[in-house]
Structure 1
Amino acid sequence: MIRRLFVVSGILCGAILSNLHAQVANVKKNSDGISVSIRDGRESAPQTVRLQVISDKIIRVTSSPDDTFSSRKSLMVVDSINARPSWNYSEGNGFVTLQTPQLRATLSLSSGEVTFVDKSGKTLLKELKRDACAFVPATYSGDAFYQLQQAFLSDPNEAYYGLGQHQNGVMNYKGRQVSLSQYNTEVAIPMVISSKNYGILWDNYSITKVGDVREPQPLSTLKLYSDKGEPGWLTAKYTQTKSSIPEIVRAESVIDYSYLKDMKNFPDSFKLANGKVRWEGSLESPYTGLHYFFLKYAGYAKIWLDGKLVTDRWRQAWNAGTVEIPFHFEKGKKYPLVIDWNPDGGESYLALKWQSPIPENLKNQFAFQSEAGDQIDYYFIGGNNMDDVIAGYRTLTGRAPIMPKWAMGFWQSRERYKTQDEILTTVKTFRDRKIPIDNIVLDWSYWAEDQWGSQEFDKTRFPDAEQMLSDLHKKYNTQLMISVWPKFYEGIDTYKDFASKGWLFTRNIQDGRRDWIGKGYHNTFYDPFNEKARTGFWTLLNNKLYSKGIDAWWLDATEPDIHSNLDVDTRKTIYTPSLGSSVRYFNAFPLQNAKAIYEGQRAANPNSRVFILTRSSYGGQQRYSAATWSGDISSRWHDMKDQIPAGINFSLSGLPYWTMDIGGFSVERRYERAQGADLDEWRELNTRWFQYGAFTPLFRVHGQFPFREIYNIAPEDHAAYKSMLFYNKLRYRLMPYIYSLAGKTYHDNYTIMRGLAMDFGGDTAVASVADQFMFGPALLVNPITEYKATNRSLYLPDGQGWYDAYTGKFLQGGKRIVAAAPYERMPLYIKAGSIIPTGPEIQYTSEKPADPLTLYIYTGQDGSFELYEDEGVNYNYEKGIYSTIPFAYNERSKTLTIGRRAGSFPNMLKNRTFNVVWVTPKKGVALDFKQSNIKKTVTYSGEQIEVKM
């Protein structure tokens, strides 16, 4: 046997090139599929491969270097999958094949490679051979496992989506690298979905690289030149802006100040708090082609390459961001480089790495590479479209429960309301000003300073929390969500109780780290991998908070962020799950933490819907009624723009409920007491962000000072105030449409925030569109992400017509247009063939029944929509207690059919009034709810009726 040795990510691997022995493969037929043992394969690593038929469209693939498979229980995949579809087995010509009515999986007996083909014979996905890099033995903290790698062959024009939420501004991950590692603003979900309508759910919890899994390189692997042209380094200049200390000039070949541990590498006399750094020189690459630079940054960072400004960013000092910078190099050519960095704080971070062009032999590969696991384990999910694939993901990992109806309304939050009076005064002001609101949020530190983890209100600031909650509910018809961290201060009663039962991670205490509150306190997190600890945590929340009337849970720092800005190796030492090592379960903390609250509340109060908002998430977390927000992003235009593909890809990962801090969380100092031009920009930034946020699954404002209530951003007569109020009220008018989508998300596995490839996959122009999306089936949302922009270029997908929502003007699709975007409006288009049910003006979701309903019918194509209604607050819908009314429009006959109502629920409106508004290519009508636009009013009692145009 001949082997060639090579290195992948620091692992020495051997590719098996030939085998002088005959093939030996043992095939075993099981009740749910087959397993094949390949112990002497010609071109693969020794392995046992198992194919299990889960459904007509889902096949599980497991490959182990051992003779047996792990029986370790999956945390992502539910154990209630009982259906065993029919399937056929055949063998011949060195292959075995499993076939279902929708899918065929063929396994090579010589290499173990699996190929997936749809029922029409089209190849969907093909594995590449598992060589010695597929299974590399490793250990951590006494836990033995394999480092794993699996590559697939990708079509040249294939696009990949999903993989959670990332801040790189990328929509299509073909040819890119995605790191699945939980971090504030980064959410790891190991589910990828292809433009060819299949998905891969990678059942693994360790840090995983996906796509182009080559390791990013330090700058020193390029040829560097100083500012004077000397080869071998860049010139670094360290300047103190408020000091007489002379400028420090030194040679540097690596820029990597990524973590707390790297702070010691700065010059001894250099202080970040009042410092600036400038790197100058040139770069030369040994390759021609598209290179990517990966910048990690905090503070202000600007980079010029070849005299062009290629990035201009800011992030708060304590929470570094990331950005990818593409740049085309010609081999052997020198390109000037300048990096300006203002750390803007006493603890700040900057690192710059790069990646060479993808080699020809890797251009059409797409791989998963995980740090730890017992075996390669993934689910292939086929489908007729992307909704089908996401339905398969939820078949495996659980349905997404319907959120309480009030959660679809507007949420007001800030960092933070410090007293009971601030909470009540804010809600009263909303009601007095008639600004619709359903939920107010109480952020961290409602406890006494030294009592984090007690879950006790500080009586000096919240003297009667139960009365506050009663007033919110009964007087103001508003819910309260409260921030709950999995964190405990050493020495408080709850800490002692949890510690005595072994429910805490204790290394952070042993290491003596303090947090950032007051004098700093020793602290740690509880262990949600321990079933008894999960029960104990819920019992604490129930006794201290839920029993007082809390409505919903904000689970912060669930990465877990036990201590910010620690390097990954140190994070692993202080995060010690009881199920196994931190390397094995690095990404799974948020999943288990959400499970604690969901199962606890459903057991304590089975008739009240759980609602959870969490800063991090993992595969399957949607089944715990958990939404995710995009973390502590900055109040900057670039961060706003990055949230668009972040939210779309999160939704394409199979988790339907996502939101963000409208306006951004962290604020530059120039905005804190803004005047003049800074105040103008602050107001416009919040206005544009608010416009976008009104069309995300959950509509939520949050951030640091300045205060984020719209009346604190601008006065009533200002365009900013008027615009935000307009979109707030529009959101509530659209509530019948939005809540129907929530119902469809549970009953039909729908996705509310939709990448254009979901609905217009046949239009290749939409594959990488990162700044437009569909909100449900009807609304094309086009946020404005540039300061002072009054128009924007956007693409109207091909195959249908489009209506301007504000004027009703009709345009054909399949072209790029420049759309008007005055300060108060964001471009919004409605697809021909849409039926949009709208309700009366309301101040909160339960204020009045949605009657009369006004149906906007956008003609030009056939269309349909199903109105979904239930009680809005309980789980009776799981028992079939809800109603649906189908609407269908036929373009040829110009007829709207309101179908027979199905189902019922207590206090349902049995007799309804429907107003009909016709919108046609020749006669546009604005979505403005004017009575003069109503052309027909009909009464409806549950039986089918027809309405002619």
Structure 2
Amino acid sequence: MIIIPVLAGILFTLNISAQDTESRFSTDKNSLIWENEGELFRIEAFGDNTLRFRSSRSLHITEENWNILDQPEVIPEIKIMPGKAVIINGTIRAEIRERDGLITYLNNKDEILLKEAFHHHVPRFARQYDSKGSDHFEIILTFVAEKDEHIYGMGQYPNDCLNLKGTVLELAQKNTQISIPFFISSKGYGFIWNNPSIGRADFSLTHTSFTAKYARQIDYFIFQEDTPAGLVRKYSDMTGKAPEMPEYGAGFWQSKLRYYSQEDLMKVAREYKKRNLPVSVIVADFFHWPETGDWKFDPEYWPDPKGMVEELEAMGIKLLVSVWPTVNMNSENYQTLRKNNYLIRPENGVNTFLPFAGYLTYIDPFHPGAREFLWSKLKQNYYDIGIRMFWLDESEPEMEPLDYENVRYYRGNGLEVSSLYPYYLSKAIYEGQVNEGQEEIINLTRSGWIGIQRFGTVLWSGDIYGDFETLRRQVKAGLNISLCGIPWWNSDIGGFFDSGLSKKDFNEVLIRWFQYGTFCPVMRLHGQRKPYTKIEGSPMHTGAPNEVWSYGEEAYGIMSRYLRIREKLKPYILENMKKASADGTPMMRPLFYDFPDDKQCWEVEDQYMFGPDLLVAPILEAGAKTRSIYLPDGPEWVDALSGKKYKGGKTIDYKVSIDNIPVFTRNNSDFRIDQN
């Protein structure tokens, strides 16, 4: 019997039956289940050293894995005791308090990895559900956090932070922002928020929380490994690995907004060959088409695309073609797409989502038929004339206004599934290429989600400004996304938008960015340079020249030398890309990835390892004469420029000139930067 005071002087007596005192725990195969009034959750083993948690107030747990791959079956150890239960899978275990379902995760050293938050006056504070009708909820999941914990990953955010502790991240895809909700912790665990809903991640000093705006259930994975490398490899096992990078992918990619005609593009390709400059890929950007959504060359400006591809191939250059998922109502494909429900739709209002050189809507790649239709057009108009590389721009998708709740996809409302759009768009192209027997696949896309690396995608950081502040942000954003299973990443060298700098100041930014780009997984020069030139009969202008010889003799001398350095690096890059394909090890990674026992490496945010042998310290400020560089403890480091040797475990003050970027080697690497 329990006596509860309700009002002053009044007592209420509640008799608890025998049934009320029965255990809230039960088991099912490899799962531990907890159920109480208004909530059900399941914790299960999911491969080695991994636990999966799912819960809902609907009392229904769905079996939707989204993009997570099946793992070998593991039988956990489950113990149900008075007042609590424990589930153990290898080096990770969860302890659950029976009366309120409060969960604590620990490693095999009894160290707490993650613990649900508790509030004395809010029952089940850690897991909150706000009903949105039927079986959907707005969900908030909250854990206690430690102030000195370091958090890395989560995709690509241009927030100038490598360590994400103290940040709030929107879980949504936007131009320059790629949401991949996976992080690794300095405490030795990895965490996947397995939910494509629009939401938020909060890594405050006092708590870590995830919010989903419209979802059926809480769904996450937590796993334990002793090193950051082990955590990233484990994540790659669960979400898939990139294919092996083709040889030409490791070379130099030439691009601008935009080569407006076949002759305009070919003049540049021929000039690279005339100057004996290495180039592997050249890009035909947007509005090479008659109408958006036609997915074909405009014959007025591109009269012989097949002959163009053949000439480029003879020069050893691949053609990358931009294919937007947008569709104009004037497109020859619009009516077929509309009648077959292959377009995304508004819940209310008119079916236009982007005012850009007309009123555009988007193809719906969630629909299998839409994916097949899109590929049929790409095959007919590009693939069949020899084009093997596709640039999937606008793949978030970008909308104005951005009202997720007013978008209807084949798989559901925009609030619930929008984050998956770039995954299914990439899937459409990749599966088409595979079905045609293509073995070397590499496509460029502006957005992604969990598992997109399986489709041979290069991600890039979107439409960014060309200045030193933006360059600095790229370094950190690129390192975080590299920890999310994405080995192929790059940025627009020089930035996309004009920052209003003088020619002299922009040249300095461009040179420093070009040097940094030489030591990125993919090296691509791109941008919208001023002044613009109007093209008669076309809705889109062309920008000023953006080739390595377009910026004066000093810039040309430095950049052409770094093109040859990149060529020299290609065998090393391809060797490490094979490793990325085999086990998920990223080519570009923070210092702590290779040196987890060196505490200083967890604090360095502006240097990185490029493969196991090269340490890169890009120049990220104007007029730099010196650069502070930390050399991790353990190995002997060799200056790739001078050959001078340094003992690790210390910070050096390194003199720099505009001609070079600081690079250091270890492991007896014979890589050197030729000063000539």
TM-score in terms of structure 2 length: 0.91
Distance 1:175 1:623, change over 3 A: same
SS of 1:710's equivalent in the other structure is coil
Q: Tell which structure's C-alpha radius of gyration is larger.
A: 1
Does the C-alpha gap of structure 1 residues 25 and 384 become closer, same or farther in structure 2, counting only changes over 3 Å? same
1:822-862 deviations in whole A, cap 9, x for unaligned?
0111111123xx244xxxxxxxxxxxxxxxxxx56xxxxxx
Counterparts of 1:726-737 in structure 2, within 5 Å, are 726-737=561-572
Unaligned runs of 5+ in 2: 5-13, 530-543
The code of the aligned residue for 1:522 comes to Y
- What's 1:32 paired with? 30
Separation in 2, partners of 1:469, 1:118: 56
Q: Which residue of 2 aligns with 1:473?
A: 313
* In structure 1, C-alpha distance between the alignment counterparts of 2:278 and 2:244, rounded to whole Å: 22
The residue number in structure 1 matching 2:541 is none
Tell me the SS of whatever aligns to 2:333: helix
Question: Are residue 99 (structure 1) and residue 88 (structure 2) matched?
Answer: yes
Q: 2:510 aligns with which of 668, 679, 686?
A: 686
Aligned to 2:361: 524
Matched-pair contact (CA < 8 Å) for 1:509–1:522: no
- Note the 1:594-613 alignment, pairs <5 A: 594-605=426-437, 607-613=438-444
Which of the numbers 583, 588, 600 marks the counterpart of 1:748? 583
Render the CA deviation track for 1:92-140: whole Å, top value 9, x for unaligned. Answer: 242222223332222222222332222333322222247257333343x
Three-state SS of the structure 2 residue aligned to 1:639 is: helix
Partners of 1:579 and 1:156 in 2: how far apart?
39
On the 8 A contact 1:106/1:114 being kept in 2, the answer is: yes
Distance in 1 of aligned mates of 2:197 and 2:418: 5
Q: What SS does the aligned partner of 2:80 have?
A: strand
In structure 2, the partner of 1:56 is: 48
Deviations 1:449-470 (A, max 9, x none): xx11111211111000000001
Deviations, residues 859-900 of structure 1 (Å, cap 9, x unaligned): xxxxxxxxxxxxxxxxxxxxxxxxxxxxxxxxxxxxxxxxxx
Superposed CA RMSD in Å reads: 2.3
Q: 2:552 aligns with which of 694, 714, 725?
A: 714
Match for residue 802 of structure 1? Answer: 637
Give the alignment partner of residue 129 of structure 2, picking from 119, 132, 136.
136
Check whether the contact 1:193–1:653 (CA below 8 A) recurs between aligned residues. no
Evaluate the alpha carbon distance shift between residue 707 and residue 571 of structure 1 in structure 2; reply closer, same or farther with a 3 A threshold: farther
For residues 652-691 of structure 1, the C-alpha deviation after alignment (integer angstroms, 9 at most, x for no partner) is 12222111100000114x56xxxxxx22112111100000
User: Alpha carbons of 1:24 and 1:815: their partners in 2 closer, same or farther (altered >3 Å)?
Assistant: farther
Matches within 5 A, 1:4-15: none
Q: Does 1:739 align with 2:571?
A: no
Q: Which of residues 171, 179, 183 is equivalent to 1:192? A: 183
| Correspondence for 1:369 among 199, 211, 236 | 211
1:219-260 deviation per Cα after TM superposition (whole angstroms, max 9, x unaligned): xxxxxxxxxxxxxxxxxxxxxxxxxxxxxxxxxxxxxxxxxx
Q: Displacement of 1:929 after TM fit?
A: 10
Counterpart residue type for residue 473 of structure 1: E
What one-letter code is carried by the residue in structure 2 that aligns with 1:91? I
Q: For each residue in 1:750-791, what CA deviation from the matched residue of structure 2 results, as whole angstroms up to 9, or x when unmatched?
A: 111101221222222232422111111111111111111122
Q: Describe the SS at the equivalent of 1:174.
A: coil
* 1:23, distance to aligned residue in structure 2 (A): 5.7
The residue identity in structure 1 corresponding to 2:308 is M
Alignment match, 2:537: none
User: Contact 2:91–2:107 (CA<8 Å) still a contact in 1?
Assistant: yes
Which 10-residue stretch deviates more, 792-801 or 740-749?
792-801
Stretch moving more, 96-105 or 490-499: 96-105
* SS of corresponding position for 1:378: strand
Deviations 1:64-114 (A, max 9, x none): 22332123x333213xx2511243222224222222333222222222233
Q: Given that residues 172 and 199 in structure 2 are in contact (C-alpha distance below 8 angstroms), is that contact kept between their aligned partners in structure 1?
A: yes
Could you say if the C-alpha distance between residues 542 and 722 of structure 1 is closer, same or farther in structure 2, counting changes exceeding 3 Å?
A: same
Instruction: State the one-letter code of the partner of 1:30.
Output: D
Distance 1:446 1:490, change over 3 A: same
Deviates more, 1:173-182 or 1:116-125: 116-125
Please say if residues 591 and 620 of structure 1, whose CA atoms lie closer than 8 Å, have aligned partners that are also in contact.
Answer: yes
Report if aligned partners of 1:387, 1:749 keep a CA contact under 8 Å in 2.
no
Distance in 2 separating the partners of 1:516 and 1:66 = 42
Alpha-carbon spacing, 1:33–1:463, altered in 2? closer, same or farther (3 Å): same
Shift of 1:726: 2.1
Distance 1:729 1:648, change over 3 A: same
1:552 to 373, 385, 389: 389
Question: Residues 160-183 of structure 1, C-alpha deviation per residue, up to 9 Å, x if partnerless?
Answer: 011111111011111221222211
The aligned residue for residue 533 of structure 1 is 370
In structure 1, what residue type is equivalent to 2:350?
Q
Distance (Å, rounded) in 2 between the aligned partners of 1:806 and 1:176: 37
- Letter of the 1:64 counterpart: S
CA distance in 1, matches of 2:15, 2:393: 58
Give the letter aligned to residue 635 of structure 1.
G
Q: Secondary structure of 2:136's match? A: strand
Match of 1:434 in 2: 276
Q: Secondary structure at the residue paired with 1:583?
A: helix
Distance, in Å, in 1 between the alignment partners of 2:211 and 2:444 is: 29
Alignment partner of 1:116 is 2:105: yes
2:418 aligned residue (583, 586, 589): 586
Pair 1:698 & 2:522 matched: yes
**Residue 615 (1) aligns with residue 446 (2):** yes
| Structure 1 equivalent of residue 11 of structure 2 | none
Q: Is the contact between residue 229 and residue 594 of structure 2 (CA under 8 Å) also seen in structure 1? A: no
Q: Of residues 243, 262, 269 in structure 2, which corresponds to 1:420?
A: 262
Match for 2:138 among 115, 131, 147? 147
In structure 2, the CA distance between the partners of 1:660 and 1:747, relative to structure 1 (3 Å rule), is same
SS in 2 for 1:585: helix
- Between the aligned partners of 1:497 and 1:122, the Cα distance in structure 2 is 59
Q: 1:638, 1:25 → 2: CA distance?
A: 57
The 3 A distance-change label for structure 1 pair 535 and 23 is farther
Distance 1:691 1:38, change over 3 A: same
Instruction: Give the aligned partner of residue 497 of structure 1.
Output: 336
* Offset of residue 927 of structure 1: 4.7
User: Cα distance 1:750–1:23, how it changes in 2: closer, same or farther (>3 A)?
Assistant: farther
Q: Which has the higher contact order (CA 8 A, sep 6+)?
A: 2
**Could you say if the C-alpha distance between residues 589 and 172 of structure 1 is closer, same or farther in structure 2, counting changes exceeding 3 Å?**
same
Secondary structure of 2:52's aligned partner: strand
The offset of 1:511, in angstroms, is 6.0
Match of 1:455 in 2: 295
Q: Please report how far the alpha carbon of residue 643 of structure 1 lies from its aligned counterpart in structure 2 after TM superposition.
A: 0.5
Q: Is the 8 A contact 2:320 2:387 kept in 1?
A: yes
Taking structure 1 as reference, are residues 503 and 513 closer, same or farther at Cα in structure 2, changes over 3 Å only? closer
State the distance in 1 between where 2:624 and 2:145 align: 39
Cα deviation, residue 393, structure 1: 1.4
* Structure 1 counterpart of 2:193, one-letter code: W
One-letter code of the match for 1:824? D
Amino acid corresponding to residue 85 of structure 2 in structure 1: V
Q: How many angstroms does 1:509 deviate by? A: 8.2
